[in-house]
Every structure is written in C-alpha cells, then in structure tokens.
Amino acid sequence: MSDTDAQGIPEPEGHSQLIETDYEIGQDNIETSVGPFGLDIHNPVFLISGLSIIAFVFYALVLPEQAESFFGWLRPAITSTFDGFFLAAANIFVLFCVFLIFSRFGSVRLGGADATPDYSYIGWFAMLFAAGMGIGLMFYGVSEPMSHFSSSLGGITEEGGARTDWAPLGAAAGNEAEAIRLGMAATVFHWGLHPWAIYAVVALALALFSYNKGLPLTIRSAFYPIFGDRVWGWTGHVIDTLAVFATLFGLATSLGFGATQANAGLNLLFGVPVGPTTEVILITAITSVALISVVRGLDGGVKILSEINMGLAALLLLFVLLVGPTLAILTGFGKSLLAYGEYLPALSNPFARTDDNFRQGWTAFYWAWWISWSPFVGMFIARVSRGRSVREFIIAVLLVPSLVCVLWMSVFGGTAIQQFVQDGYTAVKDAPLELKLFEMLKELPLASITSFVGIILVVVFFVTSSDSGSLVIDTITAGGKVDAPVPQRVFWCIFEGAVAIVLLIGGGLSSLQAMVISTGLPFTIVLLLMCWAILRGLQDEVRGT
Amino acid sequence: MYRQIMVPVDLAHEATLAHALAVAADLARHWGASITYVGVTSPVPGTFAHNPGEFARKLAEFATAQGAALGIETRAHPAIAHDPTTEVDDALLRAVDETGADLVVMQSHIPGLVDYVWPSNGGKIAAHARASVMVVRG
C-alpha cells in the first residue's frame, strides 16, 4: 500500500545496530505554552541550564573582583598544572582518528549501510568550517604566526633557571629563516590536526549514537555504553547541562570580545567611535541577523550564510595571495607543511620540555579552548553529517580543514612576515591583536575595500557561530528533539545576545571566558571516554554485517 | 469532484488529529477518492521513530490501518526535512505536488494573536498550495 521509495527518503536505511532501550525520546519533555508561545522542553535540563546561567551572570556582575580573581587564578592554574595531560590527550585523539581512517571501522556508514548524505560536499564543508573556527582565523591568521616568529627570533631568555621567553621549543635565535619555519609550524600545530581531531571525536560519537543506534541527538547519548540507562537520569542531566553551559558562555563571551574587535576595525576604517554604545549596537545587529537565520532554519538560514561566508573568505584569501608576495606565499605554503611535519613530534611531546610559557600559555590554553567548544561544534557537525562513512567523515573533518588552515596561515601570516622581514614594516608586528589583520591589508592595494570585506567576514562568522550555537542549545534543552517549536530557539538566540551585552557593560567577560576554558579539563576526560564508547559502538556495527 | 486527498499527519501527536482524519475519510467516501497520509520527519532520531526507515514503515502501517478501518484506499508518503521546526511547510508543499493531490485536508489550531506574525502551517499551505485546501479547526 505504501509507495515510500519514490520520495527523498533513503529506504531501506540498510544495516545498523539499534540500541534497544526503554527510553522514549521526549518522554521527559514538558509540552506547554507560555502565553501564545508553544514550548516543548526537556525537564529539568532546560530550567537548570537557564537558571544557572542567570545565576553565574549575577555572580560575575555583583562580585566582579572576586569572580575575576578566582577565575583569573583558575585558568592558568589548570593549563599549567595539567598541560601534560592536555597535550597527551590531544595526541590520543589524533592517533585515534588516524587509526579509524585505516581500520575496518572506516567503512561503517553513519545512518545505516545504505544511508545517503544529506548535504553536498560544499554545503557540508562550509557549515563545519564556519562553526568550527572561522572567527579565530580572522583574528589569529596574521597575529599568531607573527608572535611565534618574533619570539623564536628573539631566542631563549632565562631567569633563575626558568625560561621567561614565549618561544616554542628551543627557539631560533637570530636565524630568520628558521624562525619563520618554527613560527609557522607552531601556528599550524595549534590550528591543524589536533583541534579538528577533538571536534571529530565528539561529532563522530554523537552521529554514531543517534543515526546508527537511534538514541536522541544530545551529548548524553554518547555515554550510553558507559553508564547504560543511567544516562537518562541525573548523570545525563549533568552532562547535558554542562554542555549547554560551555556552549552558551563560550558564544556569549566570544560575541562580547568579537564586538570589541569589530568595533576597533570600524574605528580604524571609518572613525566609528569606540565604546559600549557601538558594541551594544553591534551585538544587537549580529543577534538580529542570527535570529533571522535560526527562524529560517538549517537549510534556509545557517547553510546559506555559511556558504556566503566561505565564498567571501575564499575571495579575500585569493586576493591577498595574488596581490601579495605570491611566489613567497606559495613556497611558504610548502615550507609550512614541511616544517609542521618536522616539528610535529617535538611540539606535541607532552613531557620533558623547557618551553613552559609556550607549552602552557599557548598550546595547553588552545587545547582547553578547543575542547570546551567541542560539544557545540561536535554536535553541529554531527547534525549535518548523516550518510557519510566513518572514513569519509574523518578525512573531511580532520585533513581538509587542517590543510585549509595551513593555507590560510601561510597566506595571511606569511604575507605579514614578508612585510616585516623584507620591507621593515613594523606596524603589523606592533599593532594590537584585533588590528593586525587590518594593518597587514593596509600595505596591499585596495585596502579600504579589503578591510571592509574583513569586517563583514568577522560579523558573518559571528552570525554563523551564533545561529548554529542556538540550534545546538535548543536541541540539547529539548532532550534531543529537533522539531521543538520556533520560540525556543528564538529564546536561546536572544538570551545569548543579552548575556553578552550584560557582561560587556557590567564587566566579567574575561572571568567567564576563563570559566569556559576551565570546563576544558572535565571535558577532556569526557572525550577520552567517548573514544572508548565510539570503539564499542563501531565494533557492534561491524560485527552485525 | 476530488480524486486525491492529502492529509498531513504528525503521528507523535495522533490524538490531536482525530477531527481532520474523520473529515477526510468522510470526503473520500463521498467522492470515492483515495487518501495519502503525509508525514514529515527529520534524519535525527525523534519521539515517533529512530530513523527515516522506521518512520516510513510506521507511517505505512498507519495508512494501512486507516484504510482497513474506514474502507477507503490509502497510501503513505513520508517526506524528509533537515530542520522540521522551520521546514515542515516547504516539505508539505512539495508533497502536494509529489502526491498529485487535488485536495488537502489538514488540522490546525484556532488562530490567536501570534498567527498575525507567524502563520500556522495550515495558513501557509492554504496560501501557497495549488490544490484546494480545507483547514479543520479544533
């Protein structure tokens, strides 16, 4: 009687091993309405996350000094005490992903043996890239290669037996060519395989346990092999609430800092006054565009914006490549790759190193940061990755973005280093972080146009982070349901902007950012457990065929 | 008069559909038309089904059961939307064309203030579908 095969549904889905559990998706949800708005929310994750976020914002506002001194101490304490742990864990994630590519598990398909991908390569790639690190590339693309280059060139300085310089490894005192190589290798190290392996682990765990095992699309599902049915109780509530927490504060603090940085760019370009008024207007504008995007949905909003952004970023990249020192950049790309390969073992070695400042202040900090973002980015990647095989998934999430990052860093950082080394242009080295990109562009033709494109890119990258983040939080707080009413995602989107504005005006952005990074430590343990859960899940899939 | 009636169904909330199902069945008997039940699902596991395959199976069972109980010819037509919250209207509009329906019978709530800004699914289908649309209230 049914004619199901003519439609867009891949039927049959083919082989997959469903997990049999008595839990019904949405069984803990409350369906109600507040005024004219319908709601379908998870009890108690929605309320607990909402209320505890408000409580923390109050804490940061009412006791700013206490909050700042506590979190100001906590973050460096964590990254310097557990630096070896962070470095070792990140290495495990990379090795785990590489193992999956070559193992027999690589052929397992997310969504069942016969599932077909929901998105084309371009749409898929644009979305995972925009959510993953787009905004960071805008700010660190010029500044990070520059920092590592100059600290390496400066050589090692010691005081009382401890190194006071920030150079990676053994530095490259006075050796310009080697300092460039080391600087690029260190930058690519922070933006290459390791962060994407972190995202890939979380995304793969979530995709596997929802598409192949039929569990709800929330963070707790990945823990089913470990905790069994207890994940539907308080164990799971805590995991999901933590994820909402890290996501919302991560987004709100980035939004706050991003507004400050966009403001600096606008000031340089158009003389727009710097101050809270402009910043609040910027946050409101970014949130409004994000709002339109989430109301239009995944395909009509988020995907389109991500693709536009991708196109703009590619244009800017191409422009700098062509009008900048093209030959030097292209050979630089090859050199950066080689240098990355050469220095990778030493840079990722967690033990017996002397470069304390670099290892703890840069590497461990980055690892904690990527890990605290991983629930958000991982869940978003999972949402758009059904129908890919594990091998295809890892290659696309791990290798392709890493290569793009090497290219990006070589073009933007390489151009800036050339400007400094060849032309003695020091502004690009001395400018504050948020202005380095614009200082670099200033030396190239059509600076006013490219700088404007740069600001637009910053803003749109924020919009894509904000809307995909709202979708993720909405799904988690709806117990994994993706068909919750629209007002809910509108609420989270506005809430996120409001938290950013309150913190920006009242102070407390940096202490909350420190707190977000501190969540990286518990999440590292969570991620290690996830690797084991993925192995268990994939074994079942392979065994059943 | 009408040959093909399309009835959008949200099987996770089957109880709320009673009215529309009954009206559609009466009309189908009256004109000797057949009914296609259209369900929209996401690829992500949901309350009603864990994957699109299971969804299609359950929808087909529902259609068969309705057909047997009401003595009319029925079909099932599952449709997929990546983000059902916002894309259900578009998925239903596509389904109108795909099923070749000449009449859509669908359940809707009694409009309130919000419907001025945010039209209901029924409202949007009625505004954009080429077929006749009957929106059943209550």
Q: Nearest 5°: phi and psi at A146?
A: -60, -45
Is the Cβ pair A10, B63 closer than 8 Å?
no
Question: CA of B17, closest CA in chain A: separation in Å?
Answer: 17
Name the strands in the sheet holding B103-108, side by side, starting at the edge strand that comes first in the sequence. B74-80, B34-41, B4-8, B103-108, B132-137
Domain total in chain A:
1
Chain A contact present for B102, CB below 8 A: no
Please give the Cα distance from A470 to A248 (Å, whole number). 8
Is the Cβ pair A3, B75 closer than 8 Å?
yes
Question: CA of B9, closest CA in chain A: separation in Å?
Answer: 14
The answer as to whether A460 is a domain residue is: yes
pLDDT at residue number B28: 94
The CATH superfamily of B4-137 is HUPs (3.40.50.620)
The beta-carbon neighbor of B84 closest among A26, A383, A482 is A482
Is the Cβ pair B60, A37 closer than 8 Å?
no
Chain A contact present for B44, CB below 8 A: yes
Q: Name the pLDDT band for B76 (thresholds 50, 70, 90).
A: very high
Interface test mutation site (partner B, options A302, A483, A541, max chain B beta carbons within 10 A): A483
Q: At what angle do helices A45-62 and A64-81 cross, to 10 degrees?
A: 110
Of A448, A528, A480, residue with least CA distance to A24: A480
Of A358, A396, A444, A447, residue with least CA distance to A122: A396
- Which token pair is A536? 């268990």
The residue type found at A145 is P
Please give the Cα distance from A290 to A415 (Å, whole number). 33
Nearest CA in chain A to B84: A483
pLDDT at residue number B103: 94
The answer as to whether A178 is a domain residue is: yes
Question: CA of B69, closest CA in chain A: separation in Å?
Answer: 14
Interface test mutation site (partner B, options A482, A490, A541, max chain B beta carbons within 10 A): A482
Cα–Cα separations (whole angstroms), residue A299 to A218, A302, A494, B51: 20, 6, 21, 20
Chain A contact present for B82, CB below 8 A: yes
The answer as to whether A5 is a domain residue is: no
Is the Cβ pair B79, A13 closer than 8 Å?
no
Chain A contact present for B32, CB below 8 A: no
Neighbours of A164 (CB within 10 A): 11
Question: CA of A174, closest CA in chain B: separation in Å?
Answer: 55
- Which token pair is A330? 């292209």
Q: What ipTM was estimated for this complex?
A: 0.78
How many residue pairs from chains A and B have C-beta atoms closer than 8 A? 125
A418 CB-near residues (< 8 Å, 6+ apart): A324, A325, A328, A329
Contacting residues of B for A296, CB less than 8 Å apart: 86
Is the Cβ pair A486, B52 closer than 8 Å?
no
In degrees, rounded to 5, the angle at the alpha carbon of residue A225 between the alpha carbons of residues A531 and A92 is 10
Nearest CA in chain B to A207: B44
Contacting residues of B for A3, CB less than 8 Å apart: 75-77
Please give the Cα distance from B10 to B14 (Å, whole number). 6
Cα–Cα separations (whole angstroms), residue A205 to A114, A115, A202, A222, A539: 19, 17, 5, 6, 13
Of A82, A75, A70, A72, residue with least CA distance to A359: A82
Q: Which domain holds residue A380?
A: 22-544
Contacting residues of A for B12, CB less than 8 Å apart: 26
> Locate tokens 């009890």: which residue?
A43
Is the Cβ pair B44, A16 closer than 8 Å?
no
Chain B contact present for A117, CB below 8 A: no
Q: Give the helix/strand (H/E) hosting B135.
A: strand B132-137
Q: What is the pLDDT of residues B29-48, one digit of tens each?
A: 999 999 999 998 888 888 78
Whether the CB-CB separation of A138 and A454 falls below 8 Å is answered with: yes
Question: CA of A8, closest CA in chain B: separation in Å?
Answer: 7
Is the Cβ pair B52, A13 closer than 8 Å?
yes
Q: What is the pLDDT of residues A503-542, one digit of tens each?
A: 888 777 777 778 888 888 888 998 999 999 999 889 888 8
Nearest CA in chain B to A38: B114
Cα–Cα separations (whole angstroms), residue A30 to A268, A529, A544, B46, B107: 50, 31, 37, 15, 22
**Domain parsing of chain B, residue ranges:** 4-137
3-state secondary structure of B32: coil
The beta-carbon neighbor of A7 closest among B46, B64, B78 is B78
pTM score of the predicted model: 0.88
- Which token pair is A364? 């461990």
Chain A contact present for B69, CB below 8 A: no
- Which token pair is A327? 């030959």
pLDDT at residue number B113: 64
Is the Cβ pair B87, A7 closer than 8 Å?
no
pLDDT at residue number A184: 93
Average pLDDT, chain A: 85
Contacting residues of A for B55, CB less than 8 Å apart: 9
- Which token pair is B76? 């099932």
Q: How many whole angstroms from its chain centre is CA A385?
A: 16
Contacting residues of B for A210, CB less than 8 Å apart: 44-45
- Looking at per-residue confidence, does A214 or B7 come out higher? B7
Question: CA of A10, closest CA in chain B: separation in Å?
Answer: 7
Neighbours of A328 (CB within 10 A): 17
pLDDT tens sequence for chain A (545 residues): 333 333 333 333 556 666 666 677 777 777 777 666 677 888 788 888 888 888 888 887 888 788 888 888 888 888 888 999 999 999 999 999 999 999 999 999 988 888 888 888 888 888 877 777 667 788 788 889 999 999 999 888 888 878 888 899 888 888 889 999 999 999 999 999 999 999 999 999 999 998 888 888 899 888 888 888 888 889 889 889 888 988 888 888 888 878 887 888 888 888 889 888 998 999 999 999 999 998 888 888 888 888 888 888 899 999 999 988 888 888 989 999 999 999 999 999 998 888 889 999 899 988 988 898 888 889 889 988 888 999 999 998 998 888 888 899 899 998 999 888 888 888 888 888 778 888 888 888 888 888 888 888 888 888 888 888 888 899 999 888 888 888 888 999 999 898 888 888 877 777 777 888 888 888 899 899 999 999 988 988 887 65
Is the Cβ pair A6, B12 closer than 8 Å?
no
Is the Cβ pair A210, B45 closer than 8 Å?
yes
Write out residues 5-24 of A within 8 Å (CB-CB) of B.
6-13, 16, 18, 24
Please give the Cα distance from A482 to A490 (Å, whole number). 14
Chain B contact present for A299, CB below 8 A: yes
Please give the Cα distance from A162 to A80 (Å, whole number). 14
- Which token pair is A65? 């000094």
Of A9, A384, A383, A18, residue with least CA distance to A214: A18
A450 CB-contact burial (10 Å; exposed 0-12 / middle 13-18 / buried 19+): buried
pLDDT at residue number A8: 33
- Which token pair is B16? 């709320």
Nearest CA in chain B to A24: B47
3-state secondary structure of B10: coil
Contacting residues of B for A387, CB less than 8 Å apart: 43
Nearest CA in chain A to B56: A4
Interface test mutation site (partner B, options A7, A31, A305, max chain B beta carbons within 10 A): A7
Can you give the CATH number for the domain in which A350 is found? 1.20.1740
